[in-house]
Structure 1
Amino acid sequence: MHLAVSGASGATGRLVVEQALAAGHRVTALVREPRRYHAPAGVDVVAAEVVADPDLELPPGVDAVVSTLGKRTAKDPVPVCADGTAHLLAAMRRHDVRRIVTVSASPVLRTGHGEPWWFRRAVRPYVHRVGRGIYADLEAMEATLRAASPAVRWTVLRPGYLTDRPATGYRLVPEANAVGSVQRADLAAALLQVVADPATVGHAYGLAAGRRARRPARRPAGAAPAGAER
């Protein structure tokens, strides 16, 4: 499969590129500054202003897009995910590409389905206040994807806190959230799993760590909110 990876220079995007290569996929990395991106051998690198360029182009022969776009901070006023995804979808239409998988975040599921009641009442409102700029952008992105159905075959993954610890394995939780941190390496593996699975089209999944979940009351050291890629 030929995958175009948006946000390839970010922490999650780099892992997607590496794992996709290891799995035998052809990979094109879409990056803003190719000279600063140290691509693994075998990766095609394309300069692309995904967030800013409505006339974005994809390389020929792409089968699917994997997007790890996200705001760097909640104070970033640019709708990185919403605008970037809209531009990717427009480019996909021009190149007759129908498949896209994207990274969102668990707070976007406002019902909190799958979370314990105490988490929904005590933790989730605080998370929404602190990261409201991030989650509003992700909500707009998900709305854009849904509006593009059925012409676009999308899947969304909603991890919680992302850390850079070694992979532990993961579980996909359909249309619900999973409480606890998730390793970026597992998120990358999950993105590659769902992009090749037609049964995941039109669905959003929470992402749970494969081992016993850690207590979510405090953010682990070195953790970052989901979507913090660009």
Structure 2
Amino acid sequence: MKLTVLGATGGIGGHIVRQALDAGHAVTAVVRGSAHFDLRHPALEVATVPGLTDPDPLLPAVKGSDAVLSGVGSRGRKAGTIASDATRGILGAMAATGVRRFVAVSAAPVGPPAEGEGFFGRRILLPVVSAAFKEVYQDLTVMEQLIRDSHAEWTVFWPPKLVDKPLTGRYRTVVGGNVARGHTIGRADVAHAMLAALADPATTGRPVGVAY
């Protein structure tokens, strides 16, 4: 497949690029003008753009792709509306070029509590985390609504707390909901799940919970 990856210098996006190349895909990695991207590969093209909010600079990177994957997200509580603003630009570029398949990362607290979640997770952990990162999840909520309102064939992933650990390929997913008692997930495994969704039509038009 020919894939376009946004947020390619980020924690999840970087793993998507590397795993996609290892799997034999052709990848266009979209990076900002000031970003440093060292990876080199015969099947990799690096597209440098000033930002993701304007669809026009993204058109060459998106045109002809079989799917677009976005690892764009907030890097802190003061990041503003980075996820929703970038997603508007990405969806605009996809609509203009006729690319339909879109896989993006959001966060578990944006979705409902998992079926079977315990008292601690439902009544203590989730409310505390949701309050602490209220602005981040508000931005992601807007992002998800933009995706749902688009004509894209989308999948949105809901990971809990992200950690840095090697790829395991061993994690749980729930199509349409969050994972009960799943409190962490490695960025490499989120990338793995996002790539796997490309071959799973059951995930199209659905959120997917992913956690250990």
**Could you tell me which residue of structure 2 aligns to residue 102 of structure 1?**
104
**Could you tell me which residue of structure 2 aligns to residue 222 of structure 1?**
none
Tell me which amino acid in the other structure corresponds to 2:52. Answer: V
Distance 1:53 1:89 in 2: 10
User: What are structure 1's unaligned runs of at least 5 residues?
Assistant: 210-230
Percent sequence identity over aligned pairs: 40
How much does 1:167 deviate? 2.6
- Alpha carbons 2:104, 2:157 under 8 Å: kept: yes
**Could you tell me which residue of structure 1 aligns to residue 71 of structure 2?**
68
How much does 1:98 deviate? 0.3
How much does 1:202 deviate? 0.4
Distance 2:35 2:189 in 1: 28
How much does 1:185 deviate? 1.2
Tell me which amino acid in the other structure corresponds to 1:133. Answer: E
Q: How does 1:72-221 map to 2 (within 5 A)?
A: 72-77=75-80, 79-109=81-111, 111-114=112-115, 115-148=117-150, 151-168=151-168, 169-178=170-179, 179-209=182-212
For residues 43-97 of structure 1, what are the alpha-carbon distances to aligned partners after superposition, in whole Å with 9 as ceiling and x for unaligned?
10001244332433243321110000011111122x1111111111110111110
SS at match of 1:57: helix
Distance 1:193 1:54 in 2: 27
SS at match of 1:9: coil
SS at match of 1:173: strand
SS at match of 2:109: helix
Distance 1:53 1:90 in 2: 8
Q: CA RMSD in A?
A: 1.5
- Alpha carbons 1:6, 1:68 under 8 Å: kept: yes
From the two aligned structures, give the one with the greater helix fraction. 2
Report how many aligned residue pairs link the two structures.
205
SS at match of 1:3: strand
Q: TM-score, normalised by structure 2?
A: 0.91
For residues 9-45 of structure 1, what are the alpha-carbon distances to aligned partners after superposition, in whole Å with 9 as ceiling and x for unaligned?
1111111000000101000001003761112322100
SS at match of 1:36: coil
- Alpha carbons 2:53, 2:88 under 8 Å: kept: no
Tell me which amino acid in the other structure corresponds to 2:191. Answer: A
SS at match of 2:5: strand
Distance 2:83 2:134 in 1: 14
SS at match of 2:197: helix
- Alpha carbons 2:6, 2:29 under 8 Å: kept: yes
SS at match of 1:76: coil
Distance 2:128 2:118 in 1: 15
Distance 2:35 2:88 in 1: 26
Which 4+ residue blocks in structure 1 deviate beyond 4 angstroms?
A: none
For residues 184-227 of structure 1, what are the alpha-carbon distances to aligned partners after superposition, in whole Å with 9 as ceiling and x for unaligned?
11111101000232221001111022xxxxxxxxxxxxxxxxxx
Q: TM-score, normalised by structure 1?
A: 0.84
